[in-house]
Amino acid sequence: MFDGLVVARASDAASVRAAATELLSQSGPNCLVVDVDPDEIPPFAPLIPKGQS
């Protein structure tokens, strides 16, 4: 569908930074795939107003 689409993959903070730097140095479109642990729960608590949890 997107012939020539540049894709980079990252799995930690350092590789996200490196991949983003590489992708942003090229003309788009491009794609950054970030691998995350599906069992890790994001820190939603700070985003929920008090009394609504």
The percent of residues in the chain predicted with pLDDT above 90, rounded, is 36
Name the residue among 32, 29, 27, 34 with its Cα closest to residue 2. Answer: 29
d(CA 26, CA 18): 13
Instruction: Tell me the pTM.
Output: 0.59
Is pLDDT of 2 > 60? Answer: yes
Look at residue 15 and tell me if it is in a domain: yes
The string of pLDDT tens digits covering residues 8-52 is 999 888 999 999 999 999 887 899 998 877 777 666 667 777 776
- Tell me the residue range of the domain where 6 lies: 1-36
Look at residue 23 and tell me if it is in a domain: yes
Is pLDDT of 1 > 80? Answer: no
Work out how many domains the chain is built from and give that number: 1
First-residue to last-residue Cα distance in the chain = 42
Look at residue 51 and tell me if it is in a domain: no
